[in-house]
Chains A and B, each alone.
Chain A
Amino acid sequence: MEGIIKIDNLTKSYGNIKAVNNLSFKVKKGELFSFLGINGAGKSTTINIICGELRKDSGTVLVCDQDVDCDDKYIKKKIGVVFQESLLDKSLTVYDNLKIKAALYNITGKDFIKRYDELSSLFDLKEIEKQPIRELSGGQRRRADIARAIIHNPEILILDEPTTGLDPGTRKKIWKVLNLLRKKQNLTIFLTTHYMEEAADSDYIVILDKGSIIAEGTPLELKNKYAYDMILIYNISEDEIKKLNKPYIRIRDGFKIEIKTLEEATELIIKNRNLFKDYEIVKGKMDDVFLNATGYDLEVE
């Protein structure tokens, strides 16, 4: 797969503070790429540089093989952005918002109607198209935001914490549509999120801290490196668990033992078959990856 976004030695400072420090990574076409880090890690600065909103100090940023410093009009046609907060005009209807924004990409008249109908069926906009944005629920507003972001059929969709504050049902619906778009249009998704279970579905993850990459890889690679698997044992006494000679943590109805590899778990279970009557092996989670890689606990705002 080709790199649709290529960043090489990117640096950006605000005064003495290095917001982005010698950052290099590549996003492949069609993949779901997660860009993680706590607030102030450098995510927004990087996104703003990719979108042509901010000038970099040094390094190169190529989007669809074009340098962001050379032809930002070309790049802006290739990128769609869903911002953390809805930035549609609150007093205008969903239809008017999409019509106005489409016109800024020179999509007007019949072309707009055709595109609007496609998006309307994809995001169920018919029922809300005449409502002003300010009257919509969080989920409806998000649907309109995403429809607006892809009104011009971009190749890359940047999602800046797209599901923060939404209920699980709405989140699931939004991801269903996004995954459909990836499948049908080979859309590349560049995601920043505080929900680690969303990042767990990514093809590739980069974790930033203080403007530099501190961990990167596929979710499996990161879990193997930063998150330990666990055995949860139920219906067992503390005296019995002590016989395993492993550090343990008491949980409701049982105990938790951290293991480094599955082989270690298998060996432990075979050796102590009489103790393992009711148990499960739980794979490490992305939350643990983040926590262990950065040392910070993620707070969802």
Chain B
Amino acid sequence: MRELINLTKRNVKVYFSDKGMFFTSLITPIILLVLYATFLAGIYRDNFISIIPEGFKISDKLINSLVGGQLVSSLLSVSCITVAFTSNLLMVQDKVNNSIKDINVTPTSKFAIGLSYFASTFISTILVNVIVAIICFVYIYFQGWYMNINDVILILFDILILSLFGTALSSVVNYNLSSQGQITAVGTMVSAGYGFICGAYMPISSFNQTLQKILSFLPSTYATSLFRNHSLNGPFREMNRLNIPINIINEIKKGLDCKIIFFDNNVTIRIMYTILILSIIILTVLFFLMNKRRK
């Protein structure tokens, strides 16, 4: 156990001391910020205003809160995965630069070595994303704060769940990688692709039906939806209080992927958590089995 803790500490320390590695993991969230700052925020703002029926006056603060909530949910759903992948690439980098040989000659078991990468990826991902979340909360506070403590706790819980999912997924994907080229390929694919397939850049509801159906099979869709629901709960409550018709609110929710339909069935929050937890369990068991086989 002590060897696992010590090796985990080493991995976390190496990740945070390697500035290149750390900043690479923040590239996708930064791209997202730039997209929002340049045009996405404007598009969503106009969209929300156009949906609200005439006769209902909603404040800029509420609109800003909706746009901000969407940004925050996208940001967190992407960074939980990209940070996990980049942090976990240390497992591959140790193979590429042979650092693993220096660890393998110690009396640390192979299983503990594998587990340490899993643990350190999770810790690094949680640390970075809690900091990102705090920045996001401050941003929302200045844009328009309608959240309650429940929403904040649920967002933090979502970070925990998605960090675990990112850790398990990256551990399985990265396990068999062994070259710099593979590191670059996976890093690029995750950075460029994950934002799209999880609906962070554009809501999945804006994609065509076939793509929506395909993406509804991926756990990432539900992870983003959880963040959306919990970061937009406050503004929706406020819209309810302002007596904005429920069908309009539901329309907005659907447009923002707060409601996901899986073959004509509405996927509830409880089912979304179940899908994610089951995915985490399957991927973690798979990773441990792969590790057990290792000599």
Contacts and interface: CB of A to CB of B under 8 A. Distances in A.
Interface stretch (B96-104, B126-134, B152-160, B232-240): B96-104
Contact of B98 (A85, A105, A132): A85
Given A83-B101, A100-B6, A92 B17 contact: yes
A53 B105 contact: yes
B99 A104 contact: no
Given A91-B18, A100-B10, A104-B6, A53 B102 contact: no
A104 B103 contact: yes
Contact of A53 (B101, B107, B108): B101
Contacts of B17: 89, 91-92, 132
B256 interface: no
Interface SS, B side: helix
20 contacts: A53-B105, A73-B107, A76-B107, A77-B107, A80-B105, A81-B102, A85-B98, A88-B102, A90-B97, A92-B17, A100-B6, A100-B9, A100-B10, A101-B102, A103-B6, A103-B9, A104-B6, A104-B106, A104-B108, A105-B106
Nearest to B108: A104
Interface string A62-94: 000000000011001101110101011111100
A83 B2 CA distance: 25
Contacts of B164: none
A104 B7 contact: yes
Contact of B10 (A55, A76, A79, A89): A89
A186 interface: no
B295 interface: yes
B13 interface: yes
Given A53-B104, A108-B6, 10 more contacts: A81-B102, A87-B101, A89-B14, A89-B99, A92-B13, A92-B17, A96-B13, A104-B108, A105-B106, A106-B3
A90 B106 CA distance: 19
Nearest to A89: B14
**Which range contains the number of B residues in contact with the other chain?**
20 to 34
Chain B CB within 10 Å, residue with most, of A53, A83, A100, A106: A100
Contacts of A105: 106-107
A5 B7 CA distance: 29
A55 B241 CA distance: 70
B227 to A, nearest CB: 32
A73 B106 CA distance: 8
Interface string A94-125: 00100011011110100000000000000000
A32 interface: no
Contacts of B105: 51, 53, 76, 79-81
Nearest to B90: A89
Chain A CB within 10 Å, residue with most, of B102, B105, B295: B105
A279 B105 CA distance: 52
A104 B101 contact: no
Contacts of A85: 98
A91 B107 contact: no
